[in-house]
Amino acid sequence: GGKQYKRGPTARVFVNRSLSLDKIKFFGFDMDYTLAVYKSPQYEELGFELARDRLIHCGYPEELKRYIYDPGFVLRGLIFDRLLGHMLKVDTYGNILVCTHGFKFLKTSEVIQDYPNKFIQLDDTKRYYICNTLFNLPEIYLQACVINYFSTTDGYVKVVFAKTEGVQRGNLMMSYATIHTDIRSAVDSLHFNGELKDKTVENLDKYVVKEPKLPLLLDRMREHGKVFLVTNSDFKYTNVSGRILLWELYFDVVLVEARKPKFFGEGSVLRKVDMETGKLHIGHYTGSLKKGAVYSGGSSDTLCDMMNAKGKEILYIGDHIFGDILKSKKRRGWRTFLVVPEMSHELAIWLEKKDLYHRLNELDAMIGVKYRHLDSASRERPNIQSLQESIRSAVHEMDMSFGTFGSLFRSGSRQTFFASQVTRYADLYASSFINLLYYPFCYFFRAPAVLMPHESTVDHDS
């Protein structure tokens, strides 16, 4: 390969769609998991414990107290099947890669019994809940704990009741859907009533990463453009986190309670925040956006108008899948930078296990060789069983190197649904936006060509 890079893998920014940094005049930031980076697994552990205790408070068994958060048994992008209570990892097309029930991994034969084509309809959002954000990690584990508890505790039996599946003891039936709703409510209430944020603020050093290079990068960005913050958090919390981030100094515009993804569509009323009391001024704010002030609500359209920005001059940096930006009919073409903290781990394993990947390719080629001289007239059936077994074991070894649920992005030669979302919705992605520090502001990020099967396979054999 002819390419040479100065920047180490984890310091690098990756490119799905070419982007000239030169043309970016506005750098927008999300707050949580972007500017405010949480320490993992401490922060997830906190979320897990608070949510678990709230479940118990709501009447779930005290015995759930015994469960302790295990960061090795979660992966972003997992999908919860509210009907059957399974947690699934699927590929781009919805084909099932991994299926668990509580802490139990289902065998292929068991998977086929529940999903005859090993396939799920991802657009059935009533049935499938996609754990897209890092905030979902604690509830993935909590889900496993609760289902494990009911599956392994005497007195509970599996039942089907009113078309929903679940477990029953006496007059009490716990459908998997209800359990999921209860867990989601517990987690939402932590965010809503501020319990999680209060605990975080009490012990900032334990839960929040202090990034020493942040002021430097923001300073440099402000030499090349404007810097703004758009967060769904409310003023009170933004204020606390923000003070640490010195946002009065760095951000030209601060928007709280933005209600993304609605912000990228119709939006809500733009109001000014009274910084003494934290309360919102009534009515629509119609003046210009001032540095040092804080606003609430608004929409991407309003913001563009008020900053006099074209969409393609904005690079918005966040930790979410930006589906709503792309889909929104009102979209003005904001460019996107996705922060994927898991990248460091993923890249380390990928580099370390490169041999396994090459081996997979070799095994694949060896299968090809076996069929080489055959055509549709052939009665001969080459024995590829041991090769297939070797492939399966290489894939498994590779998966296990990443963790219990394998890689965030792939399983063997197949990409995950999460990987396809990243490809689709992020122009750039990296483990941290701090990586931008290592690129000049005139940089031209170039997307590597992605070849189709006929291009990649034909090209090799000349």
Q: Which of residues 44-63 bind its own copies (CB under 8 A)?
A: 58-60
Q: Is 157 in the site for its own copies (CB under 8 A)?
A: no
Helix runs in 291-384, H state only = 300-307, 323-327, 343-352, 354-370
Pick the closer one to its own copies by CB: 170 or 212. Answer: 170
Candidate list 22, 30, 114, 124, residue with the active-site label: 30
CA separation for the pair 325, 334 (Å, rounded): 7
∠ at Cα 316 (277, 335), nearest 5°? 150
Question: Which of these ranges, 72-80, 118-126, 186-194, 202-210, lies near its own copies under the rule CB under 8 A?
Answer: 118-126
Please state, in angstroms and rounded to a whole number, the distance separating the CA atoms of residues 436 and 213.
11
Region of 130-138, 247-255, 257-265, 360-368 interacting with its own copies (CB under 8 A) = 360-368
Residue 151 touching its own copies (CB under 8 A): no
x/- map, 14-33, its own copies, by CB under 8 A: xxxxx---------------
Contacting residue, 151, 310, 349, 401, with its own copies by CB under 8 A = 310
CA angle 283, 289, 294 (to 5 degrees): 70
32: annotated active-site residue: yes
Which of 31, 367, 394, 403 is in the footprint of its own copies by CB under 8 A?
A: 367
Total number of residues that touch its own copies (CB under 8 A): 123
Preceding omega of 41 cis (within 30 degrees of 0): yes
Instruction: Kindly state the DSSP code that residue 74 receives in the 8-state scheme.
Output: -
Least Å distance between CB 432 and its own copies? 14
**Residue 63 CB-density burial (10 A; 0-12 exposed, 13-18 middle, 19+ buried):** exposed
Nearest to 279 by CA among 239, 250, 243: 239
Site for its own copies in 211-240 (CB under 8 A): 217, 220
Residue 235, CA distances (Å) to 63, 293, 319, 434 in order: 37, 11, 20, 25
Distance from the Cα of residue 389 to its chain's centroid: 32
Complex with its own copies: residue 198 or 266, whichever CB lies closer: 266
3-state secondary structure of 230: strand
Containing 176, the helix (H) or strand (E) segment is helix 176-192
Among 40, 133, 168, 404, binds its own copies (CB under 8 A): 168
Annotate each residue in 319-358 with x if it binds its own copies (CB under 8 A) or - if it does not, as one string.
-------xx-x--xx---------x--xx--xx--x--x-
Is there a binding annotation on residue 114?
Answer: no
Task: State the pairing for strand pair 104-105/172-175.
Answer: unpaired
> Does 423 interact with its own copies (rule: CB under 8 A)?
yes
Q: How far is the CB of 37 from its own copies (least distance, A)?
A: 19
| Interface with its own copies in residues 171-210 (CB under 8 A) | 171-175, 178, 181-182
Q: Which of 84, 201, 306, 437 binds its own copies (CB under 8 A)?
A: 437
Find the part of the chain contacting its own copies (CB under 8 A) among 101-109, 192-200, 227-235, 405-413: 405-413
Min dist CB 290 to its own copies, Å, is 10
Q: From residue 141, give the alpha-carbon distance in Å to each of 135, 239, 402, 406.
A: 12, 30, 17, 16
Q: Residue 30 annotated as binding?
A: yes
Rounded Cα distance between 360 and 394, Å, is: 7
The interface region with its own copies, picked from 73-81, 236-244, 314-322, 435-443 by CB under 8 A, is: 435-443
Contact 204, 232 (CB under 8 A): no
CB of 312 to its own copies, least distance (A): 6
| Nearest-angstrom CA–CA distance, 283 and 71 | 45
Q: Does 75 bind its own copies (CB under 8 A)?
A: no
Structure tokens at 162: 């009113």
In angstroms, the CA 26 to CA 20 distance is 13
Select 105 or 119, whichever has its Cβ closest to its own copies: 119
Q: Which range binds its own copies by CB under 8 A, 34-42, 67-75, 103-111, 310-318?
A: 310-318
242-301 residues near its own copies, rule: CB under 8 A: 269, 272, 274, 279-287
Give the DSSP H/E element, type plus range, for residue 15: strand 14-15
**Closer to its own copies at the Cβ: 260 or 272?**
272
DSSP calls for 374-397: --TT-------HHHHHHHHHHHHH
Which of 82-90, 168-176, 233-241, 251-259 is the region at the interface with its own copies (rule: CB under 8 A)? Answer: 168-176
| Of 43 and 115, CB closest to its own copies | 115
CB of 275 to its own copies, least distance (A): 14
Task: Work out whether the CA dihedral 59, 61, 63, 65 comes out positive or negative.
Answer: negative
10 versus 42: smaller Cβ distance to its own copies:
10
Beta strands 157-161 and 164-169 are antiparallel
163 forms part of the interface with its own copies (CB under 8 A): no
Catalytic residue among 32, 81, 301, 427: 32
CB of 93 to its own copies, least distance (A): 7
- Residue 162 has a CB neighbour count (10 Å cut-off) of 6
Query: Which residues are documented as binding site for GMP?
Result: 32
Residues identified as active-site: 30, 32
